[in-house]
Structure 1
């Protein structure tokens, strides 16, 4: 499949070759985005009946993992885009779909998401019905891609019914109702992550892309967690490749074998949330182990700022918390604090 082959090429020749500079400068170059767009990789999640490439889910997962092996900051920002493509492809809001879908699927418009405000109870983001639209109020603590994306899909819970609404807004000129606070990350700072405070944001009905019950919203979250699981496994791919180059094929093979086991468990977890969260924790733990293996193999030079092992170790830490859930956090805390040889649930 051409899209899969192009993902491998871009991950190695464009993303990985520039990853150290992205990390140093905190900026993703325009050439990354143009290469991804030209290859058609912004539209991989678009369904065939909407004009998409008709990839199966396994191919989408492989592409996502490979892209994460190239540059974590680029891949994480790019991953947010696919949820918006799916929303536009499936929305009943024909006018919104006709106006935005083609440009979003092609990458002519880049998109981000702010949905974490609806996950906790009570929610951080509420929507109140107005005549002809909605008023959004609340807080989105971590939103990536600010200054990179053109569109933001922001989600909130209906103050009366607890249904989850999602709106797609242009953000080239943020409205006065949104206060933006930049967050400076110790790793993947190029994701341009910010915190948003929303006060009295009026969203007309023609910008609403979806409305679902809270139960239906959470029923779709397993897919998002599975895609997020490609981040640590992408880092494992890169660490194993560098170990091969450095003359440590046995260690590389062992890491790949562990990754294959976790990948199988993640796939099984699509229908079992507990299995999925455990496998996602396994993936994050393996990313940390893989980076540590690479540092041990490379020795003192691995600690030089900007060296691939040093950066990958920080990126492995990123996968411990990126798009996390309370259950995942608790599981990782238990695992990393357990005495050697002890088993955790």
Structure 2
């Protein structure tokens, strides 16, 4: 019988993640058991499950993120790598890595630093493979991941392209991580990763794509799925308001309305930008309400409402590109009258 992934995610939150979220935030460390549980319950490969739909995907990812943002943030990066490897034309790479990736035995992060409008990571094609130089500004899960699905900009006589590589972190040289302290999900172990003459074999190529094609195809899906993060934060805020005896009818109605807009927005950039801005705005308002409901207790560092306020702030800018930023600023600007 197929798993009901949304219910499985709720159980994971109830039994593990939500119970330990405060301690993860306090210590800045994710217990290894969190990753073990994600694997034991099948969440590393759930994306490829039979019958997967956009609705199931969003509900599952946002639910996990609502339980422990740091754990969910690391896990969500891995899903991007799973999707890339699952649909690569490089059958040898897929056969070698995908089984371990879907079980959680081989966990990965992602970086799209070579696919940006202003790229920061470049590669030269040589007889040794690809030689990488530059930086990946944000790599999440350092110390928890074995591989990195990385997009790099390659300049050749025929023009520029984006090559996506699966880099085995323990098999390459020239990597220097610098920890980045975050206001929320700090336990996700996010680093700035410098590459210096890092050689990656040709056999690690996931895909080679023209720059414009890669950017347009990635941004549409990525902007959409990344909306699960503020949605998860909003769900966590609503749970906290219930704990304080607040009537959450209006919040739940707002959540349901926002959630219903996800599937129709897939593939529609403007609808996605508007939806992302509306969710992030709603999460900040709900977090503020949780602070007010808790009263003076909320000003204590690492109190749950204080943590949710930081998470909502984080969600305002995490994976937020200029069109979403513009839409959010319009919602935060006071009326002239």
> Which TM-score tier does this pair reach, normalised by the shorter chain?
over 0.9
TM-score in terms of structure 2 length: 0.93
8 Å contact 2:55–2:262 — kept in the other structure? no
- Does 2:329 align with 1:329? no
The corresponding residue for 1:32 is 34
- 1:22-66 CA-to-partner distances (Å, cap 9, x unmatched) read 0001111011111111110111122xxxxx444222111110011
**Once the 2 structures are TM-superposed, how far is the Cα of residue 215 of structure 1 from its aligned partner?**
3.0
8 Å contact 2:113–2:135 — kept in the other structure? no
Q: Which residue among 4, 7, 14 is the counterpart of 2:6?
A: 4
The corresponding residue for 2:277 is 281
- Does 2:121 align with 1:125? yes
Range with greater deviation from structure 2 (201-210 or 311-320)? 201-210
**What's the secondary structure of 2:261's corresponding residue?**
helix
**What's the secondary structure of 1:181's corresponding residue?**
strand
- 1:310-344 CA-to-partner distances (Å, cap 9, x unmatched) read 100001111111112122223333432x11477xx
**Once the 2 structures are TM-superposed, how far is the Cα of residue 13 of structure 1 from its aligned partner?**
1.7
The corresponding residue for 1:199 is 196
**What's the secondary structure of 1:320's corresponding residue?**
helix
**Map 1:10-21 → 2, pairs under 5 A:** 10-21=12-23
**What's the secondary structure of 2:230's corresponding residue?**
helix
Aligned equivalents of 2:336, 2:79: Cα separation in 1: 40
**What's the secondary structure of 1:172's corresponding residue?**
helix
Q: Which residue among 166, 169, 175 is the counterpart of 1:168?
A: 166
The corresponding residue for 1:49 is none
TM-score in terms of structure 1 length: 0.91
- Does 2:142 align with 1:140? no
List gaps (5 residues or longer) in structure 2. none
Q: Which residue among 208, 226, 229 is the counterpart of 1:228?
A: 226
- Does 2:93 align with 1:96? yes
**Once the 2 structures are TM-superposed, how far is the Cα of residue 138 of structure 1 from its aligned partner?**
1.7
Number of equivalences: 332
List gaps (5 residues or longer) in structure 1. 47-51
Question: Cα RMSD (Å) of the superposition?
Answer: 1.7
- 1:162-218 CA-to-partner distances (Å, cap 9, x unmatched) read 221111112136x43222111112221101010012222222110111112223322
8 Å contact 1:96–1:207 — kept in the other structure? yes
